[in-house]
A and B are shown apart, each in its own frame.
Chain A
């Protein structure tokens, strides 16, 4: 998967949780939650969507790393698809 493809998948996952999120106006270097109204449950569901779409399991300790779109893409690139947890 290229970084662009990962980014597209991340945005798609985000829009499944927050349909009003507009990819065009989303800054990839700023925290997602400053731009899209996500509560902790939404954020968890977003991670679950990422897990389902990309097979990547993001632990709580990495939440800070994946706060931005760029961070998400980098994390997925570094940790790649992982074997299913369950």
Chain B
């Protein structure tokens, strides 16, 4: 609430560009879903905002009537910029606080607006593209290929990759740059030229990738600068869990099959009930444990970079529901359609490397969260138990936690609780 506003008593609140994660500095309004005069209520999706990580459906956190849209479609503005003003509709005036109220009081972006990413044009990115509908875009290319493409002004979207998995290689870029029809990237803010043929999906360039890397860099730097991390790791036998899961899945259709990831997420969520000091935030030099358990899931984007949207109240979901939520989250992360609350509500993050990953991961905490739980690849290892040596599926669980809020003893007991829960999978 902002008393003394020029609109006096009729003015209710301002709707600002939200911070959709610690690594976001600015966003582009690609679509307004409301217009002046529309009545909105808490949780309504009012705008679509594009960042380096895709297009998000942004929800409003208060009730009222849209008074004015302060920022037009296509405008790229820093986090915290007023996007719209609401006036009271005389029906409800809820307090402008609460868990999901981050839209009105966005997490402060690291100080003033940082210098723009090197190649970012002043004009909104790709205004000609129907960005509102554009899914998170995918171009696979080697780092070297990207470098050369940038130097030669080749748009990777128009290059056919011949590398592993269709990835664009150095040779592909060089071929494209010498071809007469090679599509050139507009390196200035000149209006984009319509491509001779419609590109398969909204055309990306290497610029979004650089911007994504830049955003990730800002977030992890802030984390490592501000958060004194401590790290713990423990090996957990998943013999019981994997056996139980295999039996469950045998009876399930493909669409209902449960992945080990869901089991691991559930164990973390339940363990947090017992160890709540790891769940929540460190803000304003103080520890703020959260009551609800919203588990952020680190999901890698096909084009590179990652994103960690939240599964709300993960501790209260059945395994089947949790699996559906996870599947839906991954789908929307890649296709677009994540909601702003999913980007701002996570109270902890889980990074699961999956079955093609490394053995363990010691994560970088997402500020202002308190902890990140990592799971490496589940694989068969020799396992001693009760004086016997056997072979079991084993996962290495790790914890990176904020030492200002908790210590290693507490963190150890939390990991032990995850282990304990995973030994009785039927209770998850």
B-binding residues in A (CB < 8 A)? 18-22, 24-26, 33, 35-41, 44-45, 47-48, 51, 57-61, 85-86
Asked if A36 and B326 sit within 8 Å, CB to CB, the answer is: no
User: Which residues from A are CB-within-8-Å of B4?
Assistant: none
13 contacts between A and B (CB under 8 A): A21-B165, A25-B161, A25-B164, A25-B166, A35-B164, A41-B259, A41-B327, A51-B254, A51-B255, A57-B253, A57-B254, A58-B254, A60-B250
Give the distance in Å from the alpha carbon of A10 to the alpha carbon of B160 in the complex: 21
User: Which residues from B are CB-within-8-Å of A35?
Assistant: 164-165
Asked if A20 and B257 sit within 8 Å, CB to CB, the answer is: no
A24-B162 CB under 8 A given contacts A37-B302, A40-B355: yes
Give the distance in Å from the alpha carbon of A61 to the alpha carbon of B249 in the complex: 10
Q: Which residue of A lies closest to B141 (CB)?
A: A20
Give the shortest distance, in Å, between B149 (CB) and chain A (any CB).
Answer: 15
Interface presence of B356 (CB below 8 A): yes
User: Which residues from B are CB-within-8-Å of A24?
Assistant: 162
Q: Which residue of B lies closest to A59 (CB)?
A: B250
User: Which residues from B are CB-within-8-Å of A45?
Assistant: 327, 331
**B317-351: which have CB < 8 Å to A?**
326-327, 330-331
Give the distance in Å from the alpha carbon of A26 to the alpha carbon of B354 in the complex: 23
User: Which residues from B are CB-within-8-Å of A26?
Assistant: 165
Interface presence of B140 (CB below 8 A): yes
The residue among B166, B246, B255, B331 with the most chain A CB atoms within 10 A of its own CB is: B166
Asked if B140 and A25 sit within 8 Å, CB to CB, the answer is: no
Give the distance in Å from the alpha carbon of A9 to the alpha carbon of B331 in the complex: 21
Give the shortest distance, in Å, between B134 (CB) and chain A (any CB).
Answer: 13
Q: A20, A40, A61: which contacts B165 (Cβ < 8 A)?
A: A20
**B209-256: which have CB < 8 Å to A?**
246, 249-250, 253-255
User: Which residues from A are CB-within-8-Å of B148?
Assistant: none
Give the distance in Å from the alpha carbon of A60 to the alpha carbon of B256 in the complex: 12
Interface presence of B182 (CB below 8 A): no
Additional 20 contacts, C-beta under 8 A, given A22-B160, A48-B254: A20-B166, A22-B165, A22-B166, A24-B162, A25-B165, A26-B165, A33-B356, A37-B302, A39-B300, A39-B354, A40-B261, A40-B355, A41-B261, A44-B259, A47-B254, A57-B254, A59-B249, A60-B246, A60-B257, A61-B250
Give the distance in Å from the alpha carbon of A59 to the alpha carbon of B331 in the complex: 22
User: Which residues from B are CB-within-8-Å of A37?
Assistant: 140, 165, 302
Q: Which residue of A lies closest to B245 (CB)?
A: A60
Asked if A40 and B302 sit within 8 Å, CB to CB, the answer is: no
Give the distance in Å from the alpha carbon of A48 to the alpha carbon of B163 in the complex: 27
The residue among A22, A24, A26 with the most chain B CB atoms within 10 A of its own CB is: A22
User: Which residues from B are CB-within-8-Å of A39?
Assistant: 300, 354-356
User: Which residues from B are CB-within-8-Å of A33?
Assistant: 356
**B122-180: which have CB < 8 Å to A?**
138-140, 160-167
Give the shortest distance, in Å, between A39 (CB) and chain B (any CB).
Answer: 4
Asked if B302 and A20 sit within 8 Å, CB to CB, the answer is: yes
Asked if A41 and B302 sit within 8 Å, CB to CB, the answer is: no
Give the distance in Å from the alpha carbon of A61 to the alpha carbon of B251 in the complex: 12
Give the distance in Å from the alpha carbon of A35 to the alpha carbon of B140 in the complex: 12
Give the distance in Å from the alpha carbon of A58 to the alpha carbon of B252 in the complex: 11
Give the shortest distance, in Å, between A31 (CB) and chain B (any CB).
Answer: 10
User: Which residues from A are CB-within-8-Å of B327?
Assistant: 41, 44-45
Map CB proximity to A onto B382-425 as digits: 1 under 8 Å, 0 otherwise: 00000000000000000000000000000000000000000000
Q: Which residue of A lies closest to B330 (CB)?
A: A41
Q: B163, B261, B300: which contacts A25 (Cβ < 8 A)?
A: B163
User: Which residues from A are CB-within-8-Å of B302?
Assistant: 18-20, 37
Asked if A40 and B259 sit within 8 Å, CB to CB, the answer is: yes
User: Which residues from A are CB-within-8-Å of B163?
Assistant: 25
Q: Which residue of A lies closest to B139 (CB)?
A: A20
Q: A38, A41, A51, A61: which contacts B326 (Cβ < 8 A)?
A: A41
Give the shortest distance, in Å, between B365 (CB) and chain A (any CB).
Answer: 22
Give the distance in Å from the alpha carbon of A25 to the alpha carbon of B160 in the complex: 11
Q: Which residue of A lies closest to B355 (CB)?
A: A40
Give the shortest distance, in Å, between B116 (CB) and chain A (any CB).
Answer: 28
A20-B250 CB under 8 A given contacts A25-B166, A41-B261, A41-B330: no
